[in-house]
Structure 1
Amino acid sequence: MRISTVTMYEQGVSAMNRQQSDFTEIGQQIASGKRVVNPSDDPRAASRAVSVSQSLAVNAQQESSRTTARNALGQEESVLSSVSDAIVSAQSLIVQAGNGTLSDADRESLASDLQGKFETLVGLANTTDGNGTYLFSGYQDNAKAFSRTDAGAGVDTISYEGDQGIKRQKVDAERLMATNDSGTDVFMNFSSGSGYIAEAADTNTGSVTFTGPDVRNADNAAQGETFDITFNGDGTYDIASAGPEFTDQTNVAYTDGQTIEFGGMALTLEGQPAAGDSLTVTPGGEMSNEQASLFKTIGDTINALRQPVDTDADQAALDNTLSTASRKLDASLDNVLTTRASVGARMNELDALDKVGGNREIAYEQTRSDLVDLDYNSAISDYMLSKVGLQASQKSFADIQQMSLFQYLR
């Protein structure tokens, strides 16, 4: 078969172009460090690599979300630590105020110190983060969490202006984590496990005081109910409860210094009650936000300390206020510590999720590397072989050019 000169030229050029294309492709792979430079190089691997890259992007977003959540929880934990310290200081002042040898001036001094704790707590409750967002306002984080109303001669009334919204951050594929706690949950609530708290009515005019209550029988069916103790003025008292498990007691003889028992609890009473005086014994977890308000507890105590003590009834009112405040501050502190424990648990969980996310990122990176990254040893070997092939095709083409008969015509 005769092969024309044109055919030899075309075959030679085609061979050189093919070798040049292979040489260039390997060069691109070495330069980029990728085996799959274009999707057409390995469509299946390229498709899987895109899916793995998307998973890496999601994992990175979740890592960023965990950082945001950790910052928010860290700020809250710091504030709650300060709140705990302020409550403990207030408790110490209330214990001092219970000293019966103090004068009105001494109690006024303690009231001023307690006022400072009150202002500190209001400031902490209205803490903002670096962006001006209020930590304890719920979803209303651009509005101040707590407002104050001038009470005239008394301590300002503090009201919650936020909502009960709990912001949640997606910190992992299947985990939505709360990144805040509402102001009512922290400052105006007692945990469900809080003990009973006794409180004397503001209208009491007698000198009766109480100690306790203490639980004597936690298995009593009436545990969890609220009890009202009313003095009749004829040396008797009534105990009533709206709960179904307690049978009301009426016209029970009162004795100064006696310990009365009801609903599995015991309460010691001293002094002489007046007709119509009353006490209420309520489970801490059942108290309303107003009753459980940390600000109201301290505010009522400050107001009581600033009242002159001239009679037995005045002393009884002060003692009862201090006793109730002490119990409520204990319950408030327990509630704050419980919230702190919850915040700490969430931060620990974020640390654990960070480790899982880091391991997941390594696995994704390895999978993507296996799919598209270059094996340099193999690539360099192919590069050298392709170079030799290109040089051979070029040399072959040059030799073919010299095979024409016209080379021998002189």
Structure 2
Amino acid sequence: MRVTTNLIFDQNFRAINNSQGKLSDIQTQLASGRKLLRPSDDPVGAVQVIRLTEEIDKTVQYRRNIDLATNNLELQDTTMRSINEIVNRGRVLVVQSGNGIISTEDRRALASELDQIRNQVIDLMNTQNASGEYIFAGYQSREQAFNFNPGNSINPIQFQGDDGINSMQLSDSVSIQTTVSGKTLFEDVKARLDITNVSAAGFAFGGYDMQSQDDFDVFHELNFSAVSPANNQYQMELLASNEIQVTNLGTGSVVDTIPYIAGQPTVFAGLTVDIQGGVGSTFDFELKRPDKQNLAETLHNMSLALNDSSISDYQYQREIRNALVGIDNGLDKMARENSSVGARLNIAESVLGSLLDTDVANQKARSTIQDVDYAEASAEFSKQETALSAAFASFPRVAGLSLFDFI
């Protein structure tokens, strides 16, 4: 093969250019810390790096979600614990108000403290997070959840939010509830089950009481009919056998037959009825439709009863029982929600631990593929630098060779 001057120059130029390119690549690797500078360096490795980077970025977002969810749940937990503590104080006052020796002034003093507790509860039910959102307002989080209007005797505490519940994705397969609607937590609290439309014919009626609210609740829940109101009507009739027959007026069926002892109250399904009379006397009553009442409204109604100087002792005692049952039901509902919040916090903590472990593994795998080995790269840099220096030094000598030098 004939070696021309052009061939010599082209070959040396390509050799120098290649050495400069390799040296530049190694210098870039050392400067950036990355072994893969372009997909063509390692096509398979480049795809793996893209996939691992997507997983790492997704983990970062999930960790942010977990932080946000944890903050929301911890705020709810703290708020409910504060409400629980305050309402328990209100319950103590309600029990104290049942003391038969307290005066009218004492009742007003108790009512004043109950008003303060009611206001504190309403403030806590309108708790806002760091973004200014009302945490118990559902999807209407920019609007105040509860509004108190003491002039409204029917519904003084109005819920202005909705039933919306927010959830947050913590991982590819795990999503948890991060909010609870104030309607579910505070509005939908069962009021005390009772009877209504009471009337007596022939009996001298001295009133009724609950000997066992639990027993009456069981009877009410098993027998109340929302479809057929007539089936909620009952009659007690004194028979010649000195027994009281309890009949469902809607169905006509005999529910129970219980002994009648003159001068003593009659007990039926946890209900104590003071009825005295002769054979054929009847006492009618109807199962009251189950109601739901806001927890703060329960405190408000008790305060009104304490301030009402014209209230009868019988009605006053009923208001106390209503308040105690309403408070207990409200506290029970918050206790269940607190337990649920605790479980969700545990889930968030567990998922975070798994995400951190996965993130470490992905970071390590990506680093192995794309990050430069400085010891290896430094040695390669020195080798390429030596090769380039040799190419620069040899080129003038090769280019200077000529047969004319030997003539």
Same fold by TM-score greater than 0.5: yes
CA distance in 2, matches of 1:230, 1:302: 33
- Figure out how many residues of one structure are paired with residues of the other and give that number: 388
The aligned amino acid for 1:148 is F
Deviation track 1:157-176 (CA, whole Å, cap 9, x = no partner) reads 11222111111111211222
Structure 1 unaligned residues grouped into runs of 5+: none
What residue identity is the alignment partner of 2:156?
T
Where does residue 51 of structure 1 map in the other structure?
Answer: 51
- Larger deviation, residues 205-214 vs 19-28: 205-214
What SS does structure 1 have at the residue aligned with 2:328?
Answer: helix
Question: Is 1:209–1:271's contact at 8 Å kept on the other side of the alignment?
Answer: no
Partner of 2:213: helix, strand, or coil? Answer: strand
Q: Deviations over 1:88-120 (max 9, x none)?
A: 011100110010111122111111111111111
1:315 lines up with 2:301 in the alignment: no
Provide the residue aligned with 1:76 in structure 2. Answer: 76
In structure 2, the CA distance between the partners of 1:33 and 1:180, relative to structure 1 (3 Å rule), is: same
* Amino acid aligned to 2:163: Q
2 CA distance for matches of 1:41 and 1:155?
A: 77
Give the counterpart of 1:348 among 346, 349, 353.
Answer: 346
* In 1: Cα distance, 2:318 partner to 2:194 partner: 7
Change (3 A) 1:270 1:385: farther
8 Å CA contact 1:200, 1:321 repeated in 2: no
Correspondence 1:113-124 to 2 at 5 A: 113-124=113-124
Pairing 1:82-121 to 2, within 5 Å after superposition: 82-121=82-121
CA-CA distance at 1:267 after TM superposition: 3.8
* 1:276–1:247 Cα change, 3 Å: closer
The alignment partner of 2:48 has SS state of: helix
Q: 1:177 to 1:241 in 2, by over 3 A?
A: farther
Root mean square deviation, CA, Å: 3.6
Once the two structures are overlaid, the 10-residue window that deviates more, 389-398 or 203-212, is 203-212
Deviations along 1:150-197, whole A, 9 cap, x unmatched?
Answer: 436x69711222111111111211222211111121112348xxxx94
Q: Structure 2: how far apart are the matches of 1:203 and 1:300?
A: 22
Supply the distance in 2 between the matched residues of 1:333 and 1:74 (Cα, whole angstroms): 18
Map 1:179-328 to 2 at 5 A.
179-190=178-189, 197-199=192-194, 201=196, 207-215=207-215, 224-226=222-224, 238=246, 240=248, 248-249=255-256, 253=260, 258=265, 260-262=267-269, 266-269=270-273, 278=285, 280=287, 287-288=290-291, 291-308=292-309, 314-328=312-326
Unaligned runs of 5+ in 2: 200-204, 226-231
Deviations 1:309-330 (A, max 9, x none): 68xxx11211122122212211
Structure 2 length-normalised TM: 0.83
Identical counterparts, % of pairs: 24
The answer as to whether partners of 2:167 and 2:178 remain within 8 angstroms in 1 is: yes
Give 2:128's aligned residue. Answer: 128
Q: Is the 8 A contact 2:266 2:275 kept in 1?
A: no
Compared CA separation, residues 2 and 213, structure 1 to 2 (3 A): closer
Distance 1:234 1:94, change over 3 A: farther
Relative to structure 1, the CA distance from residue 278 to residue 126 in structure 2 (aligned partners, 3 Å threshold; closer, same or farther) is: farther
Q: Secondary structure at the match of 1:208?
A: strand
Q: Pairwise mapping of residues 147-186 of structure 1 onto structure 2 (< 5 A)?
A: 147-151=147-151, 157-186=156-185
Q: Is the 8 A contact 1:257 1:269 kept in 2?
A: no
Instruction: Answer yes or no: is the 8 Å Cα contact 1:240–1:247 preserved in 2.
Output: yes
TM-score by length of 1: 0.82
Q: Distance in 2 between matches of 1:165 and 1:256?
A: 55
Contact 1:240 1:249 in 2 (8 A): no
